[in-house]
Amino acid sequence: MASSVGDRFSVLDRAGLRFRFAVAALLGLIALGYAAAHYMEVEGHHVTGMTNQIVWGTPHVFAVFLIVAASGALNVASLASVFGIARYKPLARLSGLLAIALLLGGLVVLVLDLGRPERLIVAMTYYNFKSIFAWNIFLYTGFIVIAVAYLWMHFEPRMGVYVKPVGIGAFVWRIVLTTGTGSIFGFLVAREGYDAAIMAPLFVVMSLVFGTAAFLLFAMAVFRWSGAALDTQVVTKLANLLGIFVAASLYLTAIYHLTNLYITEHHGFERFLLLDGGVHTTLFWLVQVALGGLLVFAVLWTPLGGPPRRKAVVASILALIGGAAQVYVIIIGGQAYPLEMFPGMDASSSFFDGVVAHYSPSLPEVGLGLGGVGLALLIALVGLRVLPFVPDRAAGDVADRQG
Amino acid sequence: MNRYGAQPDQARRRFVGRAGATAAMLTLAPGVSLIDLVRAKSDDVPVSADTRWGMLVDATKCAEGCTDCVDACNDEHGLQTSSRPELDAQYIRKLDLRDRTTGKTYSLPMLCQHCETAPCVDVCPTGASFRRADGIVLVDKHTCIGCRYCMMACPYKARSFVHENLTDQVPNTPRGKGTVESCTFCAHRVDRDREPACVEACTRAGHDALTFGDMSDPHSDISVMAKKIATRQIRADLRLNTGVRYHGV
């Protein structure tokens, strides 16, 4: 009977040496991140690759990637609780856990990269409500609250009837959250690469890609670890969904660039990103479009991909790599192209006006970002050990849309 | 009666005596006065929206290669250069332009444009970026968390981030590692009825390329000039109503 599927959950109990090793490795990453953050705070940002030209660097790539992925990681929970697709119900708890973990990891990176991270209390007590950044503070903290509430509805049998309404709330919230994250860039009127409303839906779709890919890998790893059975059909369906999200992301990216190519004032920026931008051009075409897009399709929908599970794993890894490149190109590439204050004129100054800004990620920046990833995974791992997140089995042989 | 047989000029003595006493009362020590005659307003009087401080840059008078305004600004605010120029704070910089079609060149200073609807103020999550009633855009160094979103938002690349520990700061411009800063229109001088350091330096050098004043006062030099010569805002398409206007570019 379908309703019995996934009714039983357990704590990840096969801890042993492998669990300890994983925890130790993640603690190592967190220690690296902490050391990097401490070094940056004591020394100042001159120890990073960031400058007055590239003001947001690698930590922001990590943070935005994790935050956007967090929103998308809740996708499976939404499929189960909002759209009522029964095959995903056993996975809803894992989906909520991963979402919270990824968001916390991303937020920590974002906060520790601040020039004055010790002033977090200021950010939480002084608000300028015209700032989309201020709104995002509420969106992020609210997301954690609503995701925790969603899990509570799952864990507490008496609250089971509220799973759907809370799930709908979480679904709406995460769409608004990624809209807000995209709008951080969309609302930047000054820069050629941003200032576009399409940034909001693009980020929503990016979240679906990153989150679904991250969840697929996470769920497959958890099931492998726990020894429970994750039905191949579930994996295949999620992988196909990932492919559709990747296609949607490529579509919105194409529309963004085509629109810019139609508008003469953006030709310079498009030429930079699509042709002359060096590492940005390479990352865009080779990693974002080819690896994270076309190859994902090839792996998923041609015999090239091999058996279903391998398809899902390879496609997910490719989608995550392509997604990281996409965030890098948006954040760093968007800043690298110089501001055009005087159209039709070549500008030069001691402040690097008129030239493409150079940026090299530094070790502390990468360390901080990896620390955030480590923290996210550790939170997920600890969660698995202390609460019953892991279903005994997640099968695909149940009828869809059973509510 | 004195040796010359004339009565001393009592009125003159009284004048000298009173003037001396008044001067002594006004000045207790260098820099400390009981009554500051040159102060535009006392510190507890808020700035007024009746004033809109602004600057007019006459690019036709701005000499290529001249950095008098930049040097004066750096001195006034204690800005120093380091071995990595891409990290250095620059409140004002000289911009050299060349028209790609005609080949004509221009040289002009670029600084915070003190916009009426400043993007940096809009995007600042904590409100640390703010605009005074008299139009001067500043950063509250106590509430700036160093997120740099204002630097992303500024259309003029007018803001700098303090990347390292600072030494030898000047009292008028408290700065802080990890916070964002930009041109203050020398608010500390303007509040004492003095011109910004860059304007003073440009005038002293005889270029007269910079005019500072109250754009709300129709009789101020800047308003009179702006009526006579064509001026423009940089990135006028953004409708920011900038406080810095340019002529000759």
pLDDT band for position A12 (50/70/90)? confident
Q: What is the pLDDT of residue B33?
A: 46
Flag whether pLDDT at B31 surpasses 90.
no
CATH number of residue A229's parent domain: 1.20.1630.10
CA A256 to CA A235: how far, in whole Å? Answer: 31
Task: Report, as an integer, the average pLDDT of B135-163.
Answer: 97
- Find out whether B76 and B170 touch, Cβ atoms under 8 Å: yes
Give the angle subtended at the CA of A198 by the CAs of A194 and A201, to the nearest 5°. Answer: 125
Cα distances (Å, whole numbers) of residue B109 to A98, B54, B94: 51, 14, 4
Comparing alpha-carbon positions, the chain B residue that sits nearest to A130 is: B122
Judged by average pLDDT, the poorest of A269-283, A375-389, B16-30 is B16-30
Smallest CA-to-CA distance from A133 within A172, A202, A188, A174 is with: A188
Name the amino acid, one letter, at A28.
Answer: G
Q: What is the pLDDT of residue A229?
A: 84
Flag whether pLDDT at B24 surpasses 80.
no
pLDDT band for position A396 (50/70/90)? low
Which residue has better confidence, A5 or B140?
A: B140
Provide ipTM, 2 decimals. Answer: 0.92
Using an 8 Å CB-CB cutoff, list chain B residues near A50: 163
User: Does A18 fall in a domain?
Assistant: yes
Give the angle subtended at the CA of A380 by the CAs of A159 and A122, to the nearest 5°. Answer: 90
How does pLDDT run across A366-390, given as a tens digit for each residue? 999 999 999 999 999 999 999 999 9
Q: What is the pLDDT of residue B2?
A: 46
Q: What is the pLDDT of residue A6?
A: 45
Name the amino acid, one letter, at B120.
Answer: C
Domain count, chain A: 1
User: Does A4 fall in a domain?
Assistant: no
pLDDT band for position A19 (50/70/90)? confident
User: Does A278 fall in a domain?
Assistant: yes
Across the interface, do A119 and B145 touch by the CB < 8 Å criterion?
A: yes
Q: What is the pLDDT of residue A13?
A: 79
Q: What is the pLDDT of residue A2?
A: 35
User: Does A3 fall in a domain?
Assistant: no
pLDDT band for position A5 (50/70/90)? very low
Which residue has better confidence, A336 or B38?
A: A336
Mean pLDDT of the residues in chain A:
93
A82 token code pair: 């909002």
Task: Provide the domain limits for residue A200.
Answer: 12-339+350-394
Q: What is the pLDDT of residue B12?
A: 59
Q: What is the pLDDT of residue A30?
A: 98
Mean pLDDT of the residues in chain B:
89
Q: What is the pLDDT of residue A192?
A: 93
Task: Report, as an integer, the average pLDDT of B159-181.
Answer: 95
Chain A residues 186-205 with a CB less than 8 Å from chain B: 187-191
How does pLDDT run across A75-101, given as a tens digit for each residue? 999 999 999 999 999 999 999 999 999
DSSP, collapsed to helix, strand or coil, labels residue B130 as strand
Smallest CA-to-CA distance from B123 within B147, B143, B140, B142 is with: B147
Chain A residues 134-153 with a CB less than 8 Å from chain B: 134, 137
Q: What is the pLDDT of residue A15?
A: 64
CATH 3.30.70.20: which residues of chain B?
53-247
Flag whether pLDDT at B37 surpasses 80.
no
Task: Report, as an integer, the average pLDDT of A2-19.
Answer: 69
Across the interface, do A189 and B153 touch by the CB < 8 Å criterion?
A: yes
Helix, strand, coil percentages (3-state) for chain A, rounded to 5, are: 75, 5, 25
How does pLDDT run across A184-228, given as a tens digit for each residue? 999 999 999 999 999 999 999 999 999 999 999 999 999 988 888
CA B120 to CA B115: how far, in whole Å? Answer: 9
How does pLDDT run across B202-215, given as a tens digit for each residue? 999 999 999 999 99
What is the nearest CA distance from B181 to chain A, expressed in angstroms?
Answer: 11
Give this prediction's pTM: 0.90
Using an 8 Å CB-CB cutoff, list chain A residues near B153: 188-190
Tell me how many residue pairs between chain A and chain B have CB atoms under 8 A apart. Answer: 171
Of A116, A132, A352, the CB nearest to B144: A116
Q: Which of B149, B179, B181 to mutate to test the interface with A (most CBs of A within 10 A)?
A: B149
Across the interface, do B95 and A353 touch by the CB < 8 Å criterion?
A: yes
A198 token code pair: 């399409």
CATH number of B53-247, picked from 3.30.70.20, 3.30.420.40, 2.40.128.20, 3.30.700.30: 3.30.70.20
Using an 8 Å CB-CB cutoff, list chain A residues near B95: 341, 347-349, 353
Q: What is the pLDDT of residue B83?
A: 80
Cα distances (Å, whole numbers) of residue A33 to A101, B109, B172, B209: 16, 41, 37, 50
Flag whether pLDDT at B153 surpasses 80.
yes
Q: What is the pLDDT of residue A8?
A: 85
pLDDT band for position B235 (50/70/90)? very high
Q: What is the pLDDT of residue B44?
A: 80
Q: What is the pLDDT of residue B168?
A: 87
Which residue has better confidence, B159 or B41?
A: B159
Q: What is the pLDDT of residue A236?
A: 96
